[in-house]
Amino acid sequence: MDEAPTGSDRRGTWKVKAGLAEMLKGGVIMDVVTPEQARIAEDAGAVAVMALERVPADIRKEGGVARMSDPGVITAIVEAVTIPVMAKCRIGHFVEAQILESLGIDYIDESEVLTPADEEHHINKHPFKVPFVCGCRDLGEALRRIAEGAAMIRTKGEAGTGNVVEAVRHVRAVTSAIRRLHGMGPEELVMEAKRIGAPVDLLEDCARLGRLPVVNFAAGGLATPADAALMMQLGCDGVFVGSGIFKSENPSARAKAIVAATTYFDRPDILADASKSLGKPMRGLEIGAIPQEELLAGRGW
Amino acid sequence: MSSRPARRLIGVLALQGDFREHMAALRACEVECRPVRLRADLDGVDALILPGGESTTMARLMEPGLREAIVARSAEGMPVLGTCAGMILMANRVVDGRPDQEPLGLIDMTVQRNAYGRQIDSFETEVESPAIGGSGPAVFIRAPQVVEPARQAEVLAVHAGRTVALRQGNRLALAFHPELTPDRRWHQYFLGLRANGS
The pLDDT value recorded for residue B102 is: 83
Quick: pLDDT tens for B86-124: 999 999 999 987 777 789 999 999 999 999 999 999 999
For residue A1, pLDDT beyond 50: no
Using 50, 70 and 90 to split pLDDT, how confident is the model at B71? Answer: very high
Q: Residue B17 region, left (φ>0) first, then alpha (ψ -120 to 50), else beta?
A: left
- Which chain B residues contact residue A10 at CB under 8 A? 123-125
Q: Which residue of A has its CA nearest to B181?
A: A15
Task: Give A269's contacts (C-beta < 8 A, 6+ positions apart).
Answer: none
Mean pLDDT of A90-103: 98
What digits encode the pLDDT tens for the residues B22-41?
A: 999 999 999 999 999 999 99
Between CA A221 and CA A260 the distance in angstroms is 18
Q: Which residues pair with A85 in a beta bridge?
A: A49
Which chain A residues are closer than 8 Å to B127 by Cβ? Answer: 4
Instruction: Give the C-alpha separation, A9 to A21, whole Å.
Output: 20
Geometric angle at alpha carbon A233, from A265 and A283, rounded to 5°: 75
pLDDT tens readout for residues A124-153: 999 999 999 999 999 999 999 999 999 999
pLDDT of residue B6: 53
* Cα A111 to Cα A129: distance, rounded to the nearest angstrom: 18
Report ipTM for this prediction.
0.93
- The minimal CB distance from A45 to the residues B17, B60, B119 is found for B60
- Pairing mode, if any, of strands B123-129 and A10-11? antiparallel
CA nearest neighbour of B98 among A80, A85, A257, A27: A80
Q: Which of A20, A82, A262 lies at the smallest CB-CB distance from B96?
A: A82
pTM, whole model, 2 decimals? Answer: 0.95
Q: What percent of chain A has pLDDT over 70?
A: 98
Q: What pLDDT, in 10s, does the model give residues A148-200?
A: 999 999 999 999 999 999 999 999 999 999 999 999 999 999 999 999 999 99
Q: What percent of chain B has pLDDT over 70?
A: 94
Q: How many CA atoms lie within 13 A of A89 on its CB side?
A: 26
**CATH number of B9-191: 3.40.50.1370, 3.40.50.880, 3.40.1670.10, 3.40.50.920?**
3.40.50.880
- For residue B126, the surrounding DSSP H or E stretch is strand B123-129
Q: What is the DSSP letter of B138?
A: E
What are the structural domain ranges in chain B?
9-191
A209 part of contact set with chain B, CB < 8 Å = no
Say if strands B171-174 and B162-168 run parallel, antiparallel, or are unpaired: antiparallel
Long-range CB contact pairs, A175-183, < 8 A, 24+: A175/A234, A175/A235, A177/A138, A177/A139, A177/A140, A178/A139, A178/A206, A178/A207, A178/A210, A178/A211, A178/A212, A181/A206, A181/A207, A182/A207, A182/A210
Cβ burial of B35 (10 Å; 0-12, 13-18, 19+) is: middle
- Name the burial class of residue A82, with classes exposed (0-12), middle (13-18) and buried (19+) by CB atoms within 10 angstroms of its CB: middle
DSSP B58-85: HHHHS-HHHHHHHHHHHHTT--EEEETH
